[in-house]
Chain A
Amino acid sequence: MAIDCLVLGAGQEVGKSCVVVTINGKRIMFDCGMHLGYVDHRRYPDFSRISASRDYNNALSCIIITHFHLDHIGALPYFTEICGYNGPIYMTYPTMALAPITLEDYRKVMVDRRGEAEQFTNDHIMECLKKVVPVDLKQTIQVDEDLQIRAYYAGHVLGAAMFYAKVGDAAMVYTGDYNMTPDRHLGAAQIDRMQLDLLITESTYATTIRDSKYAREREFLKAVHNCLASGGKVLIPTFALGRAQELCVLLDDYWERMNLKFPIYVSAGLTVQANMYYKMLISWTSQKVKETYTTRNAFDFKNVQKFDRSMIDAPGPCVLFATPGMISSGFSLEVFKRWAPSKLNLITLPGYCVAGTVGHKLMSGKPTKIDLDKDTQIDVQCQVHQLAFSPHTDSKGIMDLVKFLSPKHVILVHGEKPKMAVLKERIHSELGIPCHDPANNETVSISSTLSIKAEASSMFIQSCSTPNFKFLKRNLIDKIDPDLKDLSYKAVRTSNMLIRECSNPHFKHLNRNLDAKFDSSLSCGPELQVSDDRVNEGILVMENGKKTKALHQDELLLLLGEQEHEVRFAHCRPIYFGSLDEIHVKDSLSRKSLWLSQLSFKLSTELSDRNVQNLGEYLQVESITLSICSKENCPYRTTNRIENESTAMVFCCCSWLVADEILAWKIISILEKHDLGST
Chain B
Amino acid sequence: MEFTCLSKGGCFYLPPCHMLNVCGFRIQFDCPVDFSALPIFSPVPSDLDVLSDKELSSHLGHGSLDLDNVSEETEKPLDVGSLIKAEPCYKIIKNLWNPSFTNIVLISSPMGMLGLPFLTREKGFSAKIYATEATARLGKIMMDDLIAMHMEVKQFYGSEDDAISQWMGQEDLKLLHHKLREVTFGQNRADLSGWMPLYSAADVKDCMQKVETLRYGEETCYNGALVIKAFSSGLEIGSCNWTINCPKRDIAYISSSIFFSSNSMEFDYLALQMETIIYSDFSSLEFMNDVENDTRVPLIDNNLQPLGKEETLANLLSNAAETVEESEKLYFICSCAIQSVESGGSVLIPINRLGVNLQLLEQISASLDYSNLKVPIYFISSVAEELLTFVNAIPEWLCRRRQQKLFSGEPMFTFVELLKENKLHVVPAIHSPKLLINWQEPCIVFCPHWSLRLGPVVHLLRRWCGDPSSLLVLEKGLDVELALLPFKPMSMKVLQCSFQSGIKLEKVRPLLKVLQPKVVVLPENLSRLIDTNTESFTVFSYSEGKSLRVPNLKDSSELEIASDSAMSFCWRKLHQGNINITRLKGELSLNYGKFKLLSENTEVAMYQRPLIHWGQPNLENLLTVLSKMGIEGSVQQEMSDASNNVRVIHIHGLTTGLIEIQESRTIISVVDRTLSAQIFNALDSVLDGV
Contact = CB atoms under 8 A, between A and B. Distances in A.
B612 A455 contact: no
Interface in B43-76: none
A452 B612 CA distance: 24
Nearest to A658: B609
Contacts of A560: 574, 579, 614
Interface string B661-684: 000111111010100110010011
Contacts of A565: 613-617, 664-666, 687
A93 B395 contact: yes
A452 B563 contact: yes
Contact of A562 (B215, B561, B580, B688): B688
B385 interface: yes
Interface in A614-664: 635-636, 638-639, 655, 657-659, 661
A280 B393 contact: yes
B422 interface: no
Nearest to A279: B393
A451 B564 CA distance: 8
B411 interface: yes
A26 to B, nearest CB: 19
A660 to B, nearest CB: 10
Interface string B389-403: 110111110000001
B389 A293 contact: yes
Interface in A230-273: 273
B376 interface: no
Q: Which of B386, B597, B617: most chain A CB closer than 10 A?
A: B597
Contacts of A566: 613, 664-666
B498 interface: no
Given A465-B588, A537-B584, A635 B669 contact: yes
Given A280-B395, A635-B658, A550 B584 contact: yes
B590 interface: yes
A539 B566 contact: no
Interface string A529-552: 000001011111111110001100
Interface string A328-363: 000000000000000000000000000000000000
A422 B258 CA distance: 56
B578 interface: yes
Given A140-B217, A565-B614, A655-B667, A464 B658 contact: no
A429 B356 CA distance: 61
Contacts of B412: 280
A655 B596 CA distance: 38
Main secondary structure of the interface of A (DSSP, over half): mixed
Interface in B217-252: 217-219, 229, 247
B665 to A, nearest CB: 4
A571 B676 CA distance: 11
A138 interface: yes
Contacts, number: 221
Contact of B581 (A100, A281, A539): A539
A542 B580 contact: yes
B690 interface: yes
A281 B395 CA distance: 8
A513 interface: no
A563 B614 contact: yes
A457 interface: yes
Q: Which of B214, B386, B395, B579: most chain A CB closer than 10 A?
A: B395
Interface string A567-590: 111111000000000000000000
Interface size class of A (residues with CB under 8 A): 35 or more
A293 B393 contact: yes
Interface string B555-582: 1111111110010010100100011111
A294 interface: yes
Interface stretch (A58-66, A129-137, A386-394): A129-137
Contact of A139 (B216, B569, B612): B216
B667 A136 contact: no
Contacts of B217: 136, 138-141
Contacts of A279: 393
B586 interface: yes
A659 B583 CA distance: 14
A281 B412 CA distance: 11
B648 interface: yes
Contacts of A537: 583-585
Q: Which of B406, B613, B669: most chain A CB closer than 10 A?
A: B669
Contact of A450 (B563, B610, B676, B680): B563
Given A451-B562, A563-B664, A138 B669 contact: no
A464 B588 contact: yes
B405 to A, nearest CB: 9
Contacts of A557: 612, 614
A453 B584 contact: no
A339 B513 CA distance: 70
Interface string A499-537: 000001000000000000000000000000000001011
Nearest to A126: B408
B407 A97 contact: yes
A458 interface: yes
Given A137-B215, A452-B563, A562-B688, A283 B581 contact: no
A556 B690 contact: yes
A400 B616 CA distance: 61
A140 B219 contact: yes
A430 interface: no
Contacts of B182: none
A534 B556 CA distance: 20
Contacts of B684: 567
A224 interface: no
Nearest to B397: A136
Nearest to B577: A544
Nearest to A572: B669
A148 to B, nearest CB: 10
A530 B580 CA distance: 36
B242 to A, nearest CB: 14
B407 A456 contact: no
A627 B22 CA distance: 50
Contacts of A464: 588
Nearest to B557: A456
A653 to B, nearest CB: 10
Given A564-B664, A566-B664, 12 more contacts: A138-B218, A294-B386, A451-B596, A454-B559, A460-B559, A539-B582, A539-B690, A541-B579, A542-B582, A565-B614, A658-B609, A665-B673
18 contacts: A169-B560, A273-B409, A276-B409, A280-B412, A294-B386, A451-B560, A452-B566, A453-B561, A536-B585, A539-B583, A545-B578, A560-B574, A560-B579, A564-B613, A567-B613, A568-B665, A568-B667, A572-B669
Interface of A: 93, 96-97, 100, 129, 134, 136-141, 169, 273, 276-277, 279-283, 293-294, 297, 449-458, 460-461, 464-465, 504, 534, 536-545, 549-550, 553, 556-557, 560, 562-572, 635-636, 638-639, 655, 657-659, 661, 665
Report the 8 A-B pairs with minimum CB-CB distance, sorted nearest first. Answer: A456-B559, A139-B217, A566-B665, A562-B614, A636-B669, A464-B588, A544-B578, A138-B218
Interface of B: 214-219, 229, 247, 385-386, 389-390, 392-396, 403, 406-407, 409, 411-412, 555-563, 566, 569, 571, 574, 578-588, 590, 595-597, 600, 602, 609-617, 648, 658, 660, 664-669, 671, 673, 676-677, 680, 683-684, 687-688, 690
